[in-house]
Structure 1
Amino acid sequence: MRPKNPRVGSSVVSVLATIACLSIVLAVTFYLVNRQPQVTVEKVDEQIQAPAETPLVMEEQQEEVVVVPEQTPEPVQETPRVTPEEMVAAQLAAGEFGQAIETAETVADLNERTMLLKMVVKAQMDSGDFVAALGTINRIPLAEARTQAMSERAQAMSLAGGSQLADFTELIQLIQTQTSGLWSDTGEGDGEISQFSSGVKVDPNGLLHQISQQERNGQLAALGIKARQANLNQNVAQNSQLRLVSLTRLEQQVQQLIEEGRSPVETMKMLAGLTKVQYIFVYPKENEVVIAGPAEAWIYNEQGQAVGVESGRPVLQLDDLVTVLRTFSDQGEKIFGCSFDPRPEGLARVKEFVAQSNARGPLHAGGGVRNWTRQLKDKLGVQDITQYGVPDTSRVARVLIEADYRMKMIGIGKLDAGANIPSYFDLLAKENSQSAQKLEALRWWLTMKYDSVLHNPQRTAFELVGSSVLCQSENQIVTKEGQRLQTGQAEKLNREFAANFTKHYQELAQKDLVYADLQNIFDLALVAALMQNEQLADRAGWEMNAFASNGMYRPAEYKPAHTVETVVNHRVYNGKDVVVQVAGGVRVDTASVVKNQNNLKVSPEVGAVSTKSQAPALPVGRWWWDLAN
């Protein structure tokens, strides 16, 4: 039977055939699409691996890497080199004076080094620091340029209205230029010249000798060196019954100035005008060690020494403080002094000479006495000066030596100390002693004298009471060989001279400032000894820098004295020559004070002063203050 609608079957077949064809096309397309990426990946892999397998390309890259560093030094070599002059100029512009000096001194050529140092000198003078300029001038290697720089400095100081510190530069220059001596400073010989505590001493052999007041005044007047006012601000120029100086703050300021290539200012050098040390305070919480005492404005007298305007006493000096702090540090000897020691051969010659002279009978007046005195001096020769505990170039050493020498000259009648301190010969004449020896060998020496040291129970505050100087005496025996034998005893007249000297010491110190200066040094030594014995610096947490034994601060140096003309004099009693020869020295043994329990006494009042004396709010950089009334 035939279907009713034959087209329906054929349509179905057509649809199925179409679907089959489409399926085949899709399958082929899918196959082709999936196959093409695989080919692409393989090609990419080949391209990536190709460079790694090509050695020529790698060699070219390595050669380029090696060549580039070899070419880099060429531009560096073309950079202009900084000359020493440019370096010094840059350092001066930045205010680095110390570094500028170091740079200049690395230059070997003397002319170039001189030029660079003169640049530093000019910059220092332009800033008003004439003291630092003087130190730099002394470094100039060429004598002619150094002299010229000295002259320029003097002119600049004159235009500025004076100098910061008293010195004898002009006098030294005059001696060097107006004498025929060969001076080491000018590069022409070995002679040396330096400042002395009471004038200028010139002796290439280190021989100490006294010059008269009239001679010294004549030299200074000829050079126009006169008493002058110190350059002080109104605050420090005020008199104060109790001025306090913080040693810790002061050291910080000094350290800073030195690091900047500058010198400590005048106020620092003179410890703000202190004329005496009365108190020592330690404030552990504030990390401060403080000294205190009366203070005043100061002037420079005819000898260039800083003295109080009203009291006339020498002011305390930073150089002396630092010197004794180092003596009483862990590295120091903790004792210092000097001694004048006669040479045995000289004493032996004098002993024999005096015996022969007395055997011949009285001397003839006039020429006979002068000839006898000259022979006596020649036979004695010189005494050796022994210095210990402090540098022999320090100002402390010079003050000790001069005070000791002048004390002995007073004792033998060659210097007048006034009616209250008669010489040994004056005492001998009053006694009309028949037992005087033909050769009297006496020993006089100076040492510390304090009535007591008061302190609070916590031992953070100390007061020095009854500060003075003690003169002690001893008679010695001179053997035939010239040896001096100690006896441990002093006969009546010898003891009397020493007692008078001690009793009237303060009166003498007003007339002869070297004795006031010596007393100041004794006070500073006791400060240093108490700090060491009581560990005050440790309790304040103060680790010294500039003031330490190896610190940057350098006290002024002087020509050391090694010998002195023998201290001797003679008189005729009962037709016989009596010759007095003196030895001795100065001994600063603080242990007799700080370790003597009889001297140390508790006083609550000292603690009350310490509490009132603590530092108020101070301006930045201020290291001293006055106790409010």
Structure 2
Amino acid sequence: MDSLRFSLRPFVRLVVCASLCILGLAVSVHAGLLGGGNQRAVGGVIIDGSGIVRDANVEEKRELAEMLRAQMDAIGGDLQQADEMRMISLSGLQNAITAAAGKPLPAEIAFLAGLQRVEYVLVDSENNDIVIGGPAEPWTVREDGSVVGAVSGHPTMRLADLAVAMRGLEQASAEGISCSIEPTPEGRRKLQQLLRGVKLRPGQNPAAMEESMKLAFGPQMIHLTGVPTDSRYARTMVAADFEMKRVAMGLTRSGVDDLPSYIAMSRNAAHGAGQNPRWWMACDYEELTRSEDGMAWKMSGNRIKTMTEQDLIDQNGAAKGSGKQDKLAQAWADRMNSNLDKLSVQMPIFGELQNVMDMTVLATLIRQEGLAQKAGLDLSVLKGDDSPVKLASYEVPRSVAPQCSFIRGRKGWIVTASGGVDINAFEVVEKQRVDDSISEKTDAKLASKSDRWWWN
């Protein structure tokens, strides 16, 4: 009898919902652009009161995009131009947030003046400030409700994610930041029992078994650590995890020619019984570069890397890592890593994950290196319990109904996909090297500081 194996890959695109939930935060009691809206609806899914997700349809996505466009103020002045390094004063940003309390929060604050990523972190002790810098663009709303740079198509960074990263450092230190969406051991056992009695006739289409497999396997459960489970940050991790699996298992096209599915790459390969490739995404940064005095820092790297190993499933349905890699699974992970820039434009959720990783590394660097103390800067507006920045609370994603698809290998049938997201910013910050040349570029930028909270 063939060994029949399975793959359950729910589709989830957790972007941001309309109004308050779109931007993930509010200022004081008057949210303006950020207020109201159906908190169950997000860019790719609907989440019910029990935390169960389903696909959002085309009309729901269109309504989300239209609401965002209608409520955003127009981009004006220098924000209409892209710049290779836009500087943002965290002191000035906090002042702008405080000034907006009780009024609609401008989109330029919610989207951090169009910042695309964080490349530089500078301590300006003369002005009691920390300044961050990186490329920036005017932003636009895609048809699915994603907010992206009008030039690159990469998602725009958000104040809401920065606030979560700044406030969650103690929790992240204690628990680690992670997301996993996994079947239950009971579900695996029930599916194993079902498959023991299955004999496929030559040419029989296994798709006929899909509904019975779904029923046996049950929902996949969502597990989150290190960040508030009702935050936009948490939803970004969940969405990225599922989109990665959908691409790997051929349930959706990546939109990148050089990134086929793992399923396509593994056709007719031998798959041994009891082993399943697992993929997860982790931080991918080069060593942080700093000046000798620790007042100027540079962040570089891909931000994300996809990793893989084989899972072993025991007779009780429990999964554990084997420490071994499947060559084809590793080849697929390598392709995803080498095509990440293109992929984050085709599927913005991966760019969103890059952005929250940047925010988390930034917040961790400020804490671990005592940058706020060096600057003499009080960051309580961004991270304090009494801050006027009030984070939106979403329905917590708890589970996803499974979807099944199949492929015939030389030794059996399809491979299970599982995995997650692991953000270890503390490890990133520990790896440093000294290079005083970074101050040559950043000193001129600090000297050109303007009266507003951002400048080119």
Q: What RMSD in Å do the two structures reach over aligned CA positions?
A: 2.8
Counterpart position of 1:555? 391
**SS of 1:235's equivalent?**
helix
Worse overlay, 371-380 or 233-242: 233-242
Partner of 2:86: 243
Q: Report what 2:209 is aligned to.
A: 372
**Structure 1 residues 331 and 487, CA, compared in 2 at 3 Å: closer, same or farther?**
closer
Q: Is the 8 A contact 1:439 1:580 kept in 2?
A: no
1:623 maps to 2:453: yes
Partner SS state of residue 379, structure 1: helix
Give the corresponding residue for 2:49: 204
Per-residue CA deviation, residues 245-275 of structure 1 (Å, 9 max, x unaligned), is: 01122112212432xx234321111111111
Distance 1:395 1:416, change over 3 A: same
Task: Report the equivalent of 1:503.
Answer: 338
Structure 1 residues 610 and 385, CA gap change in structure 2 (3 angstroms): same
Which letter maps to 1:397? A
| Cα distance change, pair 204–371 in 1 and its aligned pair in 2 (3 A) | farther
- Contiguous gaps of at least 5 residues in structure 1: 1-130, 138-162, 173-192
Equivalent-residue separation in structure 1 for 2:54 and 2:447 (angstroms): 46
8 A Cα contact 2:51 2:396, kept in partner: yes
Alignment counterpart, residue 296 of structure 2, candidates 461, 465, 484: 461
Are positions 1:608 and 2:440 aligned together? yes
Q: Secondary structure at the match of 1:584?
A: strand
The within-5 A match list for 1:428-439 is 428-429=266-267, 432-433=268-269, 435-438=270-273
Which residue, out of 303, 310, 319, partners 1:484? 319
Mark the CA change 1:425 to 1:617 in structure 2 (over 3 Å): closer, same or farther: closer
Are residues 1:194 and 2:29 paired?
no
Find the partner of 2:192 among 333, 351, 354: 351
Distance 1:507 1:223 in 2: 22
Aligned pair count?
A: 429
What per-residue deviation string (whole Å, max 9, x for no partner) do you get for residues 103-159 of structure 1?
A: xxxxxxxxxxxxxxxxxxxxxxxxxxxx9799669xxxxxxxxxxxxxxxxxxxxxx
**For 1:439 and 1:272, how far apart are their aligned partners in 2?**
50
1:482/1:582 Cα in 2 relative to 1: closer, same or farther (>3 Å)? same
Check conservation: 2:65, 2:141, Cα contact below 8 A. no
Distance 1:387 1:467 in 2: 23
Is residue 423 from structure 1 mapped to residue 261 from structure 2 by the alignment?
yes
Any idea what the Cα deviations from partners look like across 1:480-536, whole Å, max 9, x if unmatched? 111113211112122222222212111211211111111111111111111111110
Deviation per residue, 1:382-424 (Å, 9 max, x gap)? 1111111111111111111001011011111111124422222
The letter of the residue matching 1:413 is G
What's the TM-score, normalizing by structure 2?
0.86
Of 62, 82, 95, 1:220 maps to 62
1-side partners of 2:81 and 2:177: how far apart? 35
Instruction: Give the C-alpha shift of residue 345 in structure 1.
Output: 1.0
Q: Which fold has the larger relative contact order, with Cα–Cα distance below 8 Å and residues 6 or more apart in sequence?
A: 2
Higher-Rg structure is 1
Contact 1:328 1:334 (C-alpha < 8 Å) held by counterparts: no
Which residue identity is paired with 2:139?
A: W
Q: 2:401 and 2:330 mapped to 1: Cα distance?
A: 25
Q: Which residue of 1 aligns with 2:139?
A: 298
CA distance in 2, matches of 1:277, 1:481: 45
- 1:412 counterpart (237, 249, 256): 249
Partner of 2:252: helix, strand, or coil?
coil
1:189 is matched with which residue? none
Q: Which runs of structure 2 are paired with 1:59-208 in the superposition (5 Å)?
A: 164=33, 169=37, 172=38, 193-196=39-42, 198-208=43-53
* CA-to-aligned-CA distance 1:194-235 (integer Å, 9 cap, x gap): 242x24514222113334xxx325752699658678512213
The secondary structure found in structure 2 opposite 1:580 is: coil
Q: Distance in 2 between matches of 1:134 and 1:324?
A: 20
Higher mean Cα deviation, 435-444 or 380-389?
435-444
Specify which structure has the higher proportion of helix: 1
SS in 2 for 1:444: strand
* 1:589–1:415 distance in 2 versus 1, CA, 3 Å: same
Partner Cα separation in structure 2 for residue 459 and residue 194 of structure 1: 44
Q: 1:168 to 1:543 in 2, by over 3 A?
A: closer
Aligned partners of 1:534, 1:133: CA distance in 2, in Å?
Answer: 29
Structure 1 334/399 Cα, relative in aligned 2: closer, same or farther at 3 Å? same
Rounded Cα–Cα distance in structure 2 between residues aligned with 1:605 and 1:414:
47
Tell me how far apart the structure 2 counterparts of residues 224 and 339 of structure 1 sit (CA, whole Å). 32
Q: Deviations over 1:37-94 (max 9, x none)?
A: xxxxxxxxxxxxxxxxxxxxxxxxxxxxxxxxxxxxxxxxxxxxxxxxxxxxxxxxxx
Q: Could you say what secondary structure the match of 2:78 adopts? A: coil
Alpha-carbon distance between aligned partners in 1 of 2:454 and 2:52, rounded to the nearest angstrom: 41
Q: Which residue of the partner structure matches residue 264 of structure 1?
A: 105
Cα distance in 2 between the residues matched to 1:245 and 1:541: 17
CA distance in 1, matches of 2:321, 2:61: 43
Q: Percent identity?
A: 24
Q: Which amino acid aligns with 2:279?
A: W
2:210–2:404 Cα contact (<8 Å) kept: no
Answering whether residue 207 of structure 2 is matched by residue 361 of structure 1, we say no
**Residues 396, 521 of structure 1: 8 Å contact kept:** yes
Once the two structures are TM-superposed, the CA of residue 164 in structure 1 deviates from its matched residue by 4.3
CA contact (8 A) 2:52 2:400 kept: yes
Counterpart of 2:147, as a letter, is: A
Indicate which of 341, 356, 366 corresponds to 1:531.
Answer: 366
SS in 1 for 2:380: coil
How far off is 1:363 after superposition? 6.5
Aligned to 1:310: 151
Q: How far did residue 592 of structure 1 move?
A: 2.4
Partner Cα distance (1:450, 1:207) in 2: 34
Contact 2:146/2:348 (<8 A) preserved: no
Give the 3-state SS of the residue equivalent to 1:398 in structure 2.
helix
| Paired residue secondary structure (1:527) | helix
Q: Does structure 2 conserve the Cα–Cα contact (< 8 Å) formed by 1:438 and 1:579?
A: no
Aligned partners of 1:440 and 1:578 also within 8 Å: no
Distance change >3 Å, CA 494–CA 467, structure 1 → 2: closer
Unmatched tracts of structure 2, length 5 or more? 1-24
Q: TM-score scaled by structure 1?
A: 0.63
Contact in 2 for aligned 1:225/1:302 (Cα 8 Å): no
Preserved contact between residue 468 and residue 506 of structure 1 (Cα < 8 Å): no
- Which SS does the other structure have where 1:384 is aligned? strand
1:277–1:523 Cα contact (<8 Å) kept: yes
